[in-house]
Amino acid sequence: MKFGDGKQDISDFWREYYRELGLPVPLNQAGTNPSQLATSPLLECKERNLHDSDFFNPTRLTRQPFFGELIRYLDQHDDVILREIKTQFPDVAVDKLMEEYIKAGLILRENKRYHLNLPMLESLDSLELDQEIFVREDSPIYQALLDQSFETELRNQTNAAILVEKTDFARTKMTLSNYFYKVKYQYPLTEKQQELYDILGDVNPEYALKYMTTFLLKFLKKDQLMQKRRDIFVDSLVVLGYIVQNEDGKYELAVDFDKERLTFYLA
């Protein structure tokens, strides 16, 4: 193996690197670059590396682009020292961020080496919606997590109407609660949720609920409703599946409605 830089047999970088490891530089010893090994047709992938899709509901700390890049890097490399991380990410304030990750318990530092310390999901017991979760897609519990169902409620200050909606843990299902949640935290929208965003944009939830529920409560007295002028909140209720427009252009309720409790159920 060679460690020169064209001027020295051992470059300053590699000299410092192995000094921090407490090892002599293995100059001229048998070996190869890991990236060269990775291209060998004799290798078979046994485990997938961490992806962004392996964690849900990231916080301010874990949604930083550097965090995603860092965990993938540490997932693929062992016994990493700080100098290696700084070399890999030269444009990042590594020292400050690493201390934050260590303080949060996400990265472990031992003997000047850095390792992942993510609290990987092992059980669905006491799982709560919107909880920050780390889980590998190829783990047995991953599909079970996606199959979990939760119930959300939306209320407003204008009237007593309640919107009860069912959702998956990833909040990919088309519900108003999921839409408000993803827009609030600037999480990626599904294609269907993007359709709703094109109508509502970053609307104030209380403002939207006022007009949506006011329209829905009209079904207390009528089975069909007319809307003469185009209304973005009525359009949104159609996209969400709360109402449908019949052949006569009138709107009909498409969800269960408990008139005593003024509760609408979107399954």
Which pTM was predicted?
Answer: 0.75
CB neighbour list of residue 56: distance below 8 Å, 6 or more residues apart = 131, 132, 133, 135, 169, 170
Name the least confident of 48-52, 81-85, 145-149, 256-260.
48-52
DSSP H helices, 104-219, are: 140-146, 176-185, 191-200, 205-216
CB neighbour list of residue 229: distance below 8 Å, 6 or more residues apart = none
- Write out pLDDT tens, residues 100-153: 999 999 999 999 999 999 999 999 999 999 999 999 888 889 999 999 999 999
DSSP H helices, 119-262, are: 140-146, 176-185, 191-200, 205-216, 232-240
How far, in Å, CA of 53 to CA of 212, rounded? 33
Whether pLDDT at 47 is above 60: no
Tokens of 58: 């990231």
Whether pLDDT at 6 is above 60: no
Tokens of 140: 């047995």
Residue 24's pLDDT band, with cuts at 50, 70 and 90, is confident
How far, in Å, CA of 119 to CA of 131, rounded? 12
Determine the pLDDT at residue 41. 59
CA 100 to chain CA centroid, Å, is 20
- Write out pLDDT tens, residues 207-239: 999 999 999 999 999 999 998 898 999 999 999
Helices (H) and strands (E) in the chain, counts: 10, 12
Residue 43's pLDDT band, with cuts at 50, 70 and 90, is low
Whether pLDDT at 35 is above 50: no
- Taking all residues of the chain, what is their mean pLDDT, rounded to a whole number? 88
Residue 21's pLDDT band, with cuts at 50, 70 and 90, is low
How far, in Å, CA of 197 to CA of 176, rounded? 11
Determine the pLDDT at residue 46. 47
Whether pLDDT at 40 is above 80: no
- Write out pLDDT tens, residues 165-186: 999 999 999 999 999 999 999 8
DSSP assignment letter at 129: T
CA dihedral 24, 27, 28, 34 (to 10 degrees): 100
Q: What is the largest CA-CA distance in the chain?
A: 88
